Structure 1
Amino acid sequence: MWKDEYLDLMFSNDPKKLNSLEGITLKFFNIPQSLYKYRRIDEYSLANLTNDTAWFSRATGFNDPYDSSLTINNKEHNPIHKEGLENIAREFNVPLEEIESLNTKDTLEHILYNYTKLKHNPEILATTVEKYIEGTDKEFEKYVKNISDVFQEKVFASCFSEDPTSMLMWSHYADNHKGMVIEYNFNNLDLDNQKQIMTGLHPVYYTSELLNLDNYRDVQGKISVHTLAAINKSVEWEYEKEWRIIVHNETDEIGFNLPIIKPSSIILGARVEEIHKNRLSLEAKKKGIPLKQIKLDKSSYHLEVVEF
């Protein structure tokens, strides 16, 4: 599958596999003909439509609490944990390597055997390390959460789908079928003037595991781990068939608008209100693009896009 190849070229944890130029080229030739943005109809979505802009929301504002988050398994990467072990090693005059080897409760008895001749009671040392481990477990959880929070705070995304007829997405993101879907043709990108869109646009990968930062130490600085975290989602969201334009920003705002390509059509929800139907009909004429609508199939649970 080309998406797996793309992931390796852009975000592999093996430096030898990385080739961003090949990855972008591969993506360019595999972007779907159309991608779709589900929206409720309000002053904000209408302004985006009129101005050819898209709203980029902070990851913390999405409906998935795991969005753009990650984990770390190796406590050695926690500077607080490392410093504490060094202090214990100095206090008991024991090599740091030995203390680190005891960094799980089931190996603490090892120290009783190897250091029975210490001037300090070996049981005291074992207890000290054990209590330290218990304490740093909580500190480590905070450490991992802080890193994950930083990632979520810096990542902004505008989300699209390959599917304009998802019953669930019309319900969740388009005001219970009273909203709209805006269709975009990303194959018509002007690569000179819209480079940010092309480089920031990625397919989402669905997985059962959180992104583990430990696995990417060898490619630190060579890939955007922020972006990788933002395009990894739980398999429970796979029905969304999502693509995202990812932007990293230090702003304190909850989000912002950025220019995007002109829509190729507007699709009205099956329950769209008459006032919105008239407003969007005028907007479609002004832009010279088709106006379409979702039709409910009479014999099955199926949505169909028809000309308005």
Structure 2
Amino acid sequence: MKLEYFYKYYTINQNLFSSLINNELYFTNPRNFNDPFDSYPRFNLSSDVSKVIEFYNYLKIKVQEFSSLINLNNENKEKLEEFKNVLKTLSELNLFSEDLYSNEIENFNDKIIELYAFYSDDKILQKLLNANIEFLQVKMYYDYIFLLIDYQKTGISCGSLTPSCPLMWGHYANNHKGMCIKYEFENLSFDNSFIPEILNVNYSDKPIEIFNYSHTELDELRFTILSNKYSKWKYENEIRLIKKGQGLVKINRKSIKEVIFGCKSTPKDRYTILKLFASLGYKIESLKIAKVRPDKYELSIQEMKMNDIANSGVHLEELNINKNFR
């Protein structure tokens, strides 16, 4: 089924004002998400040594592609020797462990040099196969994710297919004091000549069999990993826009035609947002507000009425609204 729209929940603050004024959408680093498993799907360890070695060989080939970068200057060469010495010491003393040797190297250049040192020494591979094959598999998996996703500086903009989830309003819209914007794909039209991948999130508790994939399949696993999420988040009904590169991206203002305010938003905030939309030339066709249902633990999305922006110093002619309030 072709997706026609998505919703994003917002806190009403300076970041929102800036996004509306500059008609932008933010693509974030997936490492900044609040879920530590996000884009790190769980995987099954393998008891098949040949498959573990094959995965190592796959990564070794990938890392060799950076040989020219490593040999580019003396500073990189010196760092390479430092990493080799550390790896040699840890191997000789059987000290490889996640506590003593972390994969979290924030500097991408240093991380590439570390990978080059590790995958250039098959003696370390043989030592870990015999002494700590579990650590080896965990390290290789995180190295794979780094090369596939992190080094590419993948950016993600998250959305939802539902505007009425109380948990989403609570988590992402300032405890229901914020708002929700509906974006239409037909008019989204990013202005810098790229088309993001649009993926439905797959909610699953099933670990992936990372060591059963061929080299070709490993090359193509990126979107499967980026769209995988722990099943407890299923209520978000999330979709993702994915691109290479992170940060703010210009969009077409015509993509925004509907806004929904939280049930705890204030009349003044509602009026401020509507006046901002009008002054910037947005054509909002549908104004709605979330209301708490009296009979269920649910929200009801209703058409806004005049009373919803009363006592805000409102002047309707300033709002450029296509329909009359009741």
Q: TM-score, normalised by structure 1?
A: 0.64
The alignment partner of 1:196 has SS state of: coil
Residue 43 of structure 1 and its aligned partner are, at CA, apart by 1.0
1:78 to 56, 76, 79: 56
Which amino acid is 2:197 matched to?
A: G
Match of 2:243 in 1: 247
Return the alpha-carbon distance in structure 1 between the equivalents of residues 128 and 158 of structure 2. 46
Residue 298 of structure 1 and its aligned partner are, at CA, apart by 2.0
Return the alpha-carbon distance in structure 1 between the equivalents of residues 176 and 59 of structure 2. 51
Match of 1:162 in 2: 161
The alignment partner of 2:162 has SS state of: coil
Identity %: 26
> Retained in 2: the 8 A contact 1:69–1:210?
no
* Structure 1: stretches of 5+ with no match in the other structure: 1-28, 83-128, 250-254
Match of 1:46 in 2: 17
Match of 1:175 in 2: 174
Extract structure 1 runs of 4+ deviating beyond 6 A.
none
Which amino acid is 2:283 matched to?
A: G
The alignment partner of 2:28 has SS state of: strand
Return the alpha-carbon distance in structure 2 between the equivalents of residues 204 and 165 of structure 1. 18
Q: 1:174-207: per-residue Cα shift (whole Å, max 9, x none)?
A: 111011111011144559x68734x411111122
2:302 to 278, 300, 306: 306
1:226 to 215, 222, 228: 222
Match of 2:2 in 1: 30
Match of 2:278 in 1: 285
Does the C-alpha gap of structure 1 residues 81 and 180 become closer, same or farther in structure 2, counting only changes over 3 Å?
A: closer
Match of 1:19 in 2: none
Residue 131 of structure 1 and its aligned partner are, at CA, apart by 8.2
Range 161-170 or range 37-46, more displaced: 37-46
* Structure 2: stretches of 5+ with no match in the other structure: 61-125, 305-326
Does the C-alpha gap of structure 1 residues 260 and 214 become closer, same or farther in structure 2, counting only changes over 3 Å?
A: farther
Query: Paired residues, what number?
Result: 225
Which amino acid is 1:56 matched to?
A: F
The structure richer in helix per residue is 1
Q: Greater Rg, structure 1 or structure 2? A: 1
Q: TM-score, normalised by structure 2?
A: 0.61
Which amino acid is 1:208 matched to?
A: D
Does the C-alpha gap of structure 1 residues 212 and 155 become closer, same or farther in structure 2, counting only changes over 3 Å?
A: farther
Return the alpha-carbon distance in structure 1 between the equivalents of residues 127 and 192 of structure 2. 56
Which amino acid is 2:141 matched to?
A: V
Cα RMSD between the aligned structures? 3.0
> Retained in 2: the 8 A contact 1:159–1:245?
yes
Which amino acid is 1:247 matched to?
A: K
Confirm whether residue 147 of structure 1 aligns to residue 144 of structure 2: yes
Return the alpha-carbon distance in structure 2 between the equivalents of residues 44 and 38 of structure 1. 13
Return the alpha-carbon distance in structure 2 between the equivalents of residues 216 and 80 of structure 1. 11
Return the alpha-carbon distance in structure 2 between the equivalents of residues 205 and 187 of structure 1. 24
Return the alpha-carbon distance in structure 1 between the equivalents of residues 295 and 34 of structure 2. 32
